[in-house]
Structure 1
């Protein structure tokens, strides 16, 4: 993989702030010509450094007012049971993020739903239908202090 330089880092920063920027606009901000900026962006995409472009939706404005984090401990840690759990979680649209973690629990889920009754239904009907869950522990978000998608990168060392 290509080593990121200062220009790559700036491109990534600008695109994280506004993924709708056109190559010409990026080139102007970087004080470079169109072609090298275009080639750099394509390389960053090809190497998987830029994974995809998305629109960030305000969850509350579309009726998803409850966010919860749910810790999951599995009953059994076999490969097949773990794969079955992961496949089921990936298929659940309420689960926005899922992390395999260390400690007392095996997974941490970020769940976004309309309200508490929808969360209860999700917990009982969907999570409750999975055979390998030993225990769950839910935490409810009362307010968001910081929610960022910007991954800061340090300037390359010279």
Structure 2
């Protein structure tokens, strides 16, 4: 699907990426449109799938989720069945906030968020190591979050 995004659409997306809770009236004012055409553009972006959904971002540390772990997982075999089985099991785990199928040495890269090392150990023992196709697990603990953004770079569309 080819969707043409003009400069007004890009302004809308930039603003909504920073504050999805902005009112339509304020959004329209900030981009220089009246509310009705602004709302129409937002709805078109939603219907086209450009805007997938709107969420509230929570502060993990404030909520006691201070440990962020990047986990490389290697499977015994990369058959379609094994990949599907692994992905289905991973989707059930709320600790896994991101999961990517990778190229290179590991088959998957996970980002796991837990309150402490004991919780991560339980996740490993009770969940990850029990998935039949898992052959190797390597964990790297994040010491500090240097940069984090949910906003996508849109410069290439301008």
Q: Secondary structure at the match of 2:127?
A: helix
Aligned to 1:55: 56
Aligned to 1:113: 114
1: distance between equivalents of 2:157 and 2:129? Answer: 48
Does residue 37 (structure 1) correspond to residue 38 (structure 2)? The answer is: yes
2: distance between equivalents of 1:128 and 1:105? Answer: 15
1: distance between equivalents of 2:82 and 2:155? Answer: 40
Q: What count of residue pairs does the alignment treat as equivalent?
A: 157
- Displacement, 1:125? 1.0
Q: How does 1:87-102 map to 2 (within 5 A)?
A: 87-102=88-103
Q: Secondary structure at the match of 1:97?
A: strand
* TM-score normalized by the length of structure 1: 0.96
Q: Secondary structure at the match of 1:150?
A: coil
- Displacement, 1:81? 1.2
Does residue 22 (structure 1) correspond to residue 19 (structure 2)? The answer is: no
Q: Secondary structure at the match of 1:60?
A: coil
Q: Secondary structure at the match of 1:122?
A: helix
2: distance between equivalents of 1:10 and 1:113? Answer: 36
Provide, for residues 59-99 of structure 1, a one-character-per-residue CA deviation record: whole Å limited to 9, x for no partner: 01111110000000000111111111000001100000000
Coordinate RMSD, CA, aligned: 1.0
2: distance between equivalents of 1:53 and 1:125? Answer: 32
1: distance between equivalents of 2:157 and 2:83? Answer: 39
**Contact 1:70/1:111 (CA < 8 Å) preserved in 2?**
yes
* TM-score normalized by the length of structure 2: 0.96
Provide, for residues 28-67 of structure 1, a one-character-per-residue CA deviation record: whole Å limited to 9, x for no partner: 0011111111110001001110010000000011111100
What residue ranges of structure 1 are gaps of 5+ in the alignment?
Answer: none
1: distance between equivalents of 2:101 and 2:83? Answer: 10
Q: Secondary structure at the match of 1:96?
A: strand
Aligned to 1:139: 140
Aligned to 1:83: 84
